[in-house]
Amino acid sequence: MTAGASDRETPSADGSQPRPGASAPPPAAPAPSPGASAPARSPGASAPAPSPAGPSASPGTPALAHPVLALRHAAKSFGAVRAVIDGTIDLYAGEAHALLGENGAGKSTIVKILAGVHQPDSGEVLIDGAPVTLPGPAAAQDAGIAVIYQEPTLFPDLSVAENIFMGRQPLAAGRRIDRRRMLADSAALFRRLGVRLDPGRICRGLSIADQQIVEIAKALSLDARVIVMDEPTAALSAVEVDRLFEVVRALREGRAAVLFISHRLEEVFEICQRVTVMRDGRHVLSSELAGLTADDLVRAMVGRQMAERTAGERSTPGELVLRVEHLTREGVFTDVSLDVRAGEIVALAGLVGSGRSEVARAVFGIDRYDAGRVLLRGRELRRASPAAAMASGIGFVPEDRRQQGLVMDMSVQQNVALASLARLRKGGLIRTAAERAFTTDWAVRLNLKYGRLSDPVFQLSGGNQQKVVLAKWLGRQPALLIVDEPTRGIDIATKAEVHRLLVRLAGDGVAILMISSELPEVLHVGDRILVMREGRLTAEFGHEEATEEKIMAAATGQPQERAS
């Protein structure tokens, strides 16, 4: 969550925030329909006093009697874990409503309740003011609720049109599927959304952004009145985010309600009218965004003042640890050269898709490369061999914690020890006592919170899972630590811990290459900042001279308007 935005750009009173590179704010929405709140950009004539429920009506328009979809005082537990204790949210037609909260605050569970995947233990779901039960996803779909999950769930072997209409394909005589109509209907949906996508192609190979569009088209085809988007922009480039926002506006104009879950506050301010904040399973704030600041929201999410964010002292860089020379992989990245010295943190910034993770994976040996070389402490590293990379002292904390960083079914101890088995054995056999001591040692050092060492890691929170991954690599005492999105999906408190840890490691002489899409993190932690765009390095900044604008300019290739 880019709470750090508040440092750089204080939002103006109406909560709007210029977005670097964004197109000019759209013209004011057509005459506000009853109950719809005025868009955040043009300060509504209504008084911005936050109200716990319902938008304040614009003068002259009666408030809508009922929200399209409402959740009142829902509670849901999974075994001993109380995921939601008091969940309340109201969604009105035609609005974009943000749902904020730290990880573990209960947002995902709320989404799943609205989607019919879970049934609340208590509380009620109301549609147009009437209580309903949603026993399953089918019921929610019938009720007009569509959810776009973070990971699009499409059928890769089937065509785009089939994905949209699966189970509801238009029929010709004799209940045969009418393919031509299916294609035509899909094309019409895409036109409504203002995007271009070929409905006849198969889904395999579509970018995440396109997959999302397909999901949205699917929702539209269901005449969804409520569209829930769960972290939709996490994996999108700036251009794709803008396209998505246009789509959201189109949806709102079609009188759908959009529930927008995100960690990126600047996006929330740009696209949403109202917000609900969850904390520890309860809703703590529901109001119009007009009149709120990012700090207000963060305070609501965290419940306390943001901790002071000094990361620590900078040390002077030591000897050269990593040198990458003219690394190239056709179609992915080209002529990438960089250095990382002992004790310095090099941040690699850029838009998603610019090739940063691919470079990192190529350095570590997971992916291959076509030309160039990698030298660690002066010695050339064999390519495409993670084992060789590890042997020479590289540690790699990957982007995807659940699939790549951890073996979810294995225990905390087994995961922490997984990269150090050679060290923990004697005579070929693993010494369990040594393994346990090793794990405990690192658990204490990283302040890891767990039940037992033998608990499977899927039971841990996101922040603690990341600590397990870190422990795994730090246990090898690497000379170079590569971290890819070190704090993605982690709550604020643990985020700060991880940043402090990285700086401390640098202070101890570890060379760190950090890939991050969060500009505040990049600026906060990086000693030097490199920017990649479309597979090439386009800029380098020192710590003092770097600003978010400069980084974004280099990342997008567009000169930025100076923000206020």
Between the alpha carbon of residue 428 and those of residues 421, 431, 438, the distances in Å are: 10, 9, 18
1-60 residues near other proteins, rule: CB under 8 A: none
Q: Which of 27, 62, 79, 378 binds other proteins (CB under 8 A)?
A: 79
Crossing angle of the two packed helices 179-193 and 208-221, in degrees rounded to 10: 110
Please tell me whether residue 508 binds other proteins under the rule CB under 8 A.
Answer: no
Please tell me whether residue 173 binds other proteins under the rule CB under 8 A.
Answer: no
Q: Which of 227, 322, 351, 503 binds other proteins (CB under 8 A)?
A: 351
DSSP symbol at 41: S
> How far is 351 from 33, CA to CA, in rounded Å?
37
Q: Which is nearer to other proteins, 61 or 404 (CB)?
A: 404
Q: Which is nearer to other proteins, 341 or 499 (CB)?
A: 499
> How far is 101 from 3, CA to CA, in rounded Å?
12
Please tell me whether residue 478 binds other proteins under the rule CB under 8 A.
Answer: no
251-280 residues near other proteins, rule: CB under 8 A: 280
Q: Which of 13, 384, 422, 563 binds other proteins (CB under 8 A)?
A: 422
Cβ atoms < 10 Å from Cβ of 5: 23
- Scanning the structure block, which residue is given the tokens 């009142």? 72
Contact between 494 and 438 (Cβ < 8 Å): no
Binding-site string for other proteins from residue 278 to residue 307, where x marks contact by CB under 8 A and - marks none: --xx--------------------------
Q: Which two tokens stand for residue 526?
A: 């990086």
DSSP symbol at 194: T
Please tell me whether residue 419 binds other proteins under the rule CB under 8 A.
Answer: yes
232-251 residues near other proteins, rule: CB under 8 A: 235, 237, 239-240, 242-243
The DSSP-derived string for 108-147 is HHHHHHHTTSS--SEEEEEETTEEE---SHHHHHHTTEEE
Contact between 146 and 218 (Cβ < 8 Å): yes
Please tell me whether residue 454 binds other proteins under the rule CB under 8 A.
Answer: yes
The least CB distance from residue 98 to other proteins, in Å, is 20
**Looking at 20-28, 259-267, 376-384, 458-466, which segment touches other proteins (CB under 8 A)?**
458-466
Closest among 501, 513, 471 to 360, alpha carbons compared: 513
The least CB distance from residue 13 to other proteins, in Å, is 33
Q: Which of 2, 6, 16, 141 binds other proteins (CB under 8 A)?
A: 141
> How far is 119 from 94, CA to CA, in rounded Å?
26
Between the alpha carbon of residue 173 and those of residues 169, 185, 221, 434, the distances in Å are: 13, 18, 22, 71
Q: Which of 255, 536, 543, 550 binds other proteins (CB under 8 A)?
A: 536
Q: Which is nearer to other proteins, 288 or 485 (CB)?
A: 485
Q: Which of 223, 253, 380, 455 binds other proteins (CB under 8 A)?
A: 455
Between the alpha carbon of residue 515 and those of residues 352, 440, 446, 459, the distances in Å are: 10, 28, 21, 27
The least CB distance from residue 311 to other proteins, in Å, is 19
Please tell me whether residue 368 binds other proteins under the rule CB under 8 A.
Answer: no
Closest among 68, 212, 74 to 144, alpha carbons compared: 68
**Looking at 253-261, 322-330, 341-349, 375-383, which segment touches other proteins (CB under 8 A)?**
322-330
**Looking at 122-130, 268-276, 338-346, 407-415, which segment touches other proteins (CB under 8 A)?**
407-415
Please tell me whether residue 329 binds other proteins under the rule CB under 8 A.
Answer: yes
**Looking at 89-97, 318-326, 353-361, 506-514, which segment touches other proteins (CB under 8 A)?**
353-361
Please tell me whether residue 311 binds other proteins under the rule CB under 8 A.
Answer: no
> How far is 400 from 469, CA to CA, in rounded Å?
11
The least CB distance from residue 448 to other proteins, in Å, is 8
Binding-site string for other proteins from residue 89 to residue 108, where x marks contact by CB under 8 A and - marks none: -------------xxxxx-x
Please tell me whether residue 334 binds other proteins under the rule CB under 8 A.
Answer: yes
For residue 478, the one-letter residue type is P
The least CB distance from residue 59 to other proteins, in Å, is 38
Please tell me whether residue 392 binds other proteins under the rule CB under 8 A.
Answer: no
Q: Which is nearer to other proteins, 45 or 138 (CB)?
A: 138
**Buried/exposed 35-48: b ≥16 CB within 10 Å, e otherwise:** bbbbbbbebbebeb
Q: Which is nearer to other proteins, 37 or 414 (CB)?
A: 414
Cβ atoms < 10 Å from Cβ of 326: 12
Please tell me whether residue 206 binds other proteins under the rule CB under 8 A.
Answer: yes
Please tell me whether residue 366 binds other proteins under the rule CB under 8 A.
Answer: yes
> How far is 304 from 204, CA to CA, in rounded Å?
45
DSSP symbol at 457: G
Q: Which of 138, 371, 384, 563 binds other proteins (CB under 8 A)?
A: 138
Cβ atoms < 10 Å from Cβ of 512: 27
The least CB distance from residue 399 to other proteins, in Å, is 8
Q: Which of 99, 261, 443, 505 binds other proteins (CB under 8 A)?
A: 443
Please tell me whether residue 426 binds other proteins under the rule CB under 8 A.
Answer: no
- Residues near 408 by beta carbon (within 8 Å), at least 6 away in sequence: 402, 456, 457, 458
Q: Is 309 helix (H, G, I), strand (E, B) or coil?
A: coil
DSSP symbol at 175: G
What H or E segment, with its residue span, contains residue 348? strand 345-350
The least CB distance from residue 93 to other proteins, in Å, is 24
The least CB distance from residue 80 to other proteins, in Å, is 9
